[in-house]
Structure 1
Amino acid sequence: MSDMAFHDGERKVQALAGETAIANRNVAMLSDTVIGGARPFIAKQSMAVLASTDAEGAMWASVVFGEPGFLHTHDGRSITIDVAREDRDAADPIWHNMTAGADVGMLFIELSSRRRYRVNGTVLRIDARGAEVAIHEAYPNCPKYIQRRQLHQLEEPRRPAREVAEGTVLRGGVTDIVARADTLFVASRHAEAGADASHRGGRPGFVKLVDERTLRIPDYPGNSMFNTLGNIEADGRAGICILDFNGGQVLQLTGTAAVLTDQDDPRGETGGTRRFWEFTVNRWILRALPCTMEWQYVDASPFNPVA
């Protein structure tokens, strides 16, 4: 079963890390349905992270919002996303990318409790009411590296047009958002396994700007399955989404990524793995969040490396 569950990219990174045996044990978490206990968890969320691919093959990570209940699954075999057409942010690539038959990765994450659940699937329906995604793979993730935040206020979607900035290099205020980030979301994809959405977190500054188009991100110890890095190893296209919690903005970047193993790490930035990944920006979009939200920072993850 484990050989069927992992693709070639995941197997390669597992072997390089010497963690194949651990991955084989952890594969038992995988399911083709959402387990019963996770269904009410999904239904109470007010946000979800979605990974999608645009018409040119670029990967995008998006965050969609709604009142609790806008995400739900009745039988655990598909997930419904109730975002009406008039409430969608046209500047977010997700609403152009979600076509019938398209791969979608979904991450349901509750920052206040450090709980998260990953689901990968295929779009069954997209219409004026919302979308339905058939589940291919579902599994829980551990609470590591999540900074706790409490969402106190989620207002109705804004109707007026919002200012959107775009670019291809990282300068000015965009670099400030990256430098302050302690939370980001990653979109990646494998030709056969489909799209995947995942979380990365650390102390502010854990994302390093190498130059105007390159980010360097440490890879901390995890579940040893290497879904994200395996996808990057096999494909290379990736997307990043950074929420600017204080500024009420979201920064989305698309580009390519590469896995770096056995790197010098004198400051212990990787938590002992000596792994990084570098992201090369092809395009970015900066826009206001579609709702007015008030986030209260609670505390940092105790698992964050000190460096």
Structure 2
Amino acid sequence: MGRQFAKIAFTPLVKKQQELHGSRRQYQRIEEIGEPGGRLGEDEREFIEARDGFYMASVSETGWPYIQFRGGLKGFLRVLDDQTLGFADLRGNKQYISVGNLQHDDRVALFLMDYVGQQRLKILGRTKILEGNEEARELIAKFRTSEHNAIPERAFVIHIEAFDWNCPQHITPRFTEEEVRDLLAERNA
């Protein structure tokens, strides 16, 4: 865990719970001497670019959290630089809950899972939504994948505030169809 993630996540009430349950001292050390944790390195870049989906949380005007799965071909979530991600937002069920929430509060939490490798990466950031202008069209073209029947409506650009690799404990391995096919082909070769 990086210092920046701890700074954002460890509110006074969280710290109180850490004290009550005996973990505060170890996390206080991270806050004082841990890695900064605000810029992506090569490990994070490779992990992000290998994902075919992630979970994105936002908060509504009434304070309710909302989480949505975003999926696509591997690599649809692009690392633009060591503090910026982007993707083309594809037409879906037309509820626009995340889009509406992010107009109220631009903060997001992303949760990226590798079920097979039992790894997860949490990212906190601020989102800019681009739609209906030349910059949006350019970014959509840049982010577009070869996914059939995918209709991009807007571009999301996320400035990373902090990230944290979470422990693998309790991640149940799950396999996609592609991963099962690859394993079977390898076994039958």
Partner-residue secondary structure (3-state), 1:150: coil
Shift in alpha-carbon separation, 1:16–1:51, aligned structure 2, 3 A: same
Separation (CA, whole Å) in 2 of partners of 1:33 and 1:24: 21
Separation (CA, whole Å) in 2 of partners of 1:9 and 1:78: 30
1:57 and 2:63 correspond: yes
Partner-residue secondary structure (3-state), 1:148: coil
**Alpha-carbon deviations, 1:223-248, whole Å to 9, x = none?**
xxxxxxxxxxxxxxxxxxxxxxxxxx
User: How far does residue 151 in structure 1 lie from its aligned partner after superposition?
Assistant: 1.1
Partner-residue secondary structure (3-state), 2:174: strand
Task: Give matches, 1:69-84, under 5 Å.
Answer: 69-84=75-90
Task: Give 5+ residue unaligned stretches, structure 1.
Answer: 154-293, 295-307
Q: Which moved more, 1:5-14 or 1:102-111?
A: 5-14
User: How far does residue 14 in structure 1 lie from its aligned partner after superposition?
Assistant: 0.8
Task: Name the counterpart of 2:42.
Answer: 36
Shift in alpha-carbon separation, 1:100–1:44, aligned structure 2, 3 A: farther
Separation (CA, whole Å) in 1 of partners of 2:156 and 2:21: 38
**Alpha-carbon deviations, 1:114-161, whole Å to 9, x = none?**
1111110111234333201111111211111111101115xxxxxxxx
Task: Name the counterpart of 2:184.
Answer: none
- Counterpart selection for 1:144 from 161, 165, 169: 169
8 Å CA contact 1:80, 1:132 repeated in 2: yes
Paired residue type of 2:63 = G
Separation (CA, whole Å) in 2 of partners of 1:12 and 1:45: 35
Paired residue type of 2:60 = D
1:8 and 2:33 correspond: no
Separation (CA, whole Å) in 2 of partners of 1:119 and 1:30: 14
- State the percentage of identical aligned residues: 19
1:117 and 2:117 correspond: no
Task: Give matches, 1:1-307, under 5 Å.
Answer: 5=7, 6-27=10-31, 28-29=34-35, 31-84=37-90, 87-91=91-95, 93-99=97-103, 102-127=106-131, 128-152=153-177
Separation (CA, whole Å) in 1 of partners of 2:52 and 2:109: 17
After TM superposition, the score normalised by the length of structure 2 is 0.70
**Alpha-carbon deviations, 1:79-126, whole Å to 9, x = none?**
112223xx2332462233233851100111111211111110111234
The alignment of Structure 1 onto Structure 2 pairs a total of residues equal to 151
Task: Give 5+ residue unaligned stretches, structure 2.
Answer: 132-152, 181-189
8 Å CA contact 1:99, 1:123 repeated in 2: no
8 Å CA contact 1:70, 1:81 repeated in 2: yes
Shift >3 Å, 4+ stretches: none
Shift in alpha-carbon separation, 1:98–1:122, aligned structure 2, 3 A: same
Separation (CA, whole Å) in 1 of partners of 2:162 and 2:41: 11
Shift in alpha-carbon separation, 1:66–1:31, aligned structure 2, 3 A: same
8 Å CA contact 1:98, 1:126 repeated in 2: no
Coordinate RMSD, CA, aligned:
2.4
**Alpha-carbon deviations, 1:253-276, whole Å to 9, x = none?**
xxxxxxxxxxxxxxxxxxxxxxxx
Shift in alpha-carbon separation, 1:148–1:29, aligned structure 2, 3 A: farther
User: How far does residue 30 in structure 1 lie from its aligned partner after superposition?
Assistant: 5.1
